[in-house]
Amino acid sequence: MAGAAQLVKAVVLAGSRPGAVDPVAAYAGVAHKALIELDGATLLARVVEALRGAGCEAAVSANAPEVVAQAERLGLPVLPTEAGPSASVGRALVELGTPLLVTTADHALLEPEWVRRFVVDVPANADVAVLLARRESIEAALPGTRRTYLRFADGNWSGCNLFLLRTPAAARAIDLWRLVEADRKRPWRIVRRFGLRMLMRYLLGRLTLAAAVARLGELAGVRAAVVESPFGLAAVDVDKPEDLEAVRELTRNPLPLSRGRDSGAAAG
């Protein structure tokens, strides 16, 4: 059963590795990806506007001076970054408490409805939840897009860069998140942590996404759930220059709000 709508705090991850050059930022000619302008607003401003439209009180996790300055102009609290996104989320959880919504500054197409729907669809007993979309929804919304998919018995899925740390117990998931973060491009290594039985189910194509997420939750000592997004574009972020060109085209020629299939439900 899904939880009721509620006001949540949100953190936007906009950190950068010192000395690293982001290829999308370089392509766009800006100091940081969060500062890329799309339809007259920076990506950071667009994400924050969507969060505020959904009723969230937003903060930004950032370390680049230019991004910090932009966040301050937007009237946002700025949190220090840590060594990696998961550690930065852990810092935000300590600072902001729960429930805490987590997203990224490159979620260029984020809309308030996606956020509201996610929060409402999170099961009432979950400590932590993640939003994902099916490959069919994504490709229907943006034909030809290339995403990283997690392949399970119930379909191919891609993350939507939206997480809800719903209860204080969610803090226990941060260490496991750090391990998953390191292996996110190699799903079989993530599944290997589940144990031999779960690994065999995955290799035989019998492991569902909901079962995998539930097992991850058990390993972390939390109740974890995956929520399916009916909005295919929710899985489209700006990881590559071609992603940026795709979202630029979408802002010039917007699609209907649904941007994918009309139905969606909690999968765990």
pLDDT tens per residue, range 176-193: 777 666 666 666 666 666
Please give the pLDDT value at position 176: 76
Compute the average pLDDT of residues 121-145.
Answer: 93
pLDDT band at 260 (very low <50, low <70, confident <90, very high): very low
Residue 239: Cβ within 10 Å count: 17
% of the chain at pLDDT higher than 90: 59
- Residues 112, 211, 129, CA angle at the centre, nearest 5°? 25
Please give the pLDDT value at position 257: 45
pLDDT band at 170 (very low <50, low <70, confident <90, very high): very high
Please give the pLDDT value at position 198: 75
185 vs 128, more confident = 128
251 vs 42, more confident = 42
Compute the average pLDDT of residues 108-125.
Answer: 95
Which range among 140-144, 175-179, 244-248 shows the weakest confidence by mean pLDDT?
175-179
d(CA 60, CA 42): 14
Please give the pLDDT value at position 1: 38
Please give the pLDDT value at position 48: 97
Would the pLDDT of 255 be above 80? no
Please give the pLDDT value at position 258: 42
First to last CA, the chain: 10
Please give the pLDDT value at position 261: 40
Which range among 40-54, 176-190, 194-208, 239-253 shows the weakest confidence by mean pLDDT?
176-190
Compute the average pLDDT of residues 47-62.
Answer: 96
Please give the pLDDT value at position 254: 67
Compute the average pLDDT of residues 3-8.
Answer: 58
pTM over 0.95: no
Q: Of 101, 130, 97, nearest to 220 (Cα)?
A: 130
What's the burial of 193, exposed, middle or buried (CB within 10 Å: 0-12/13-18/19+)? middle
Give helix then strand counts, H and E, for the chain: 11, 10
Q: Please state at what angle helix 43-53 crosses helix 65-73, rounded to 10 degrees.
A: 40
pLDDT band at 85 (very low <50, low <70, confident <90, very high): confident
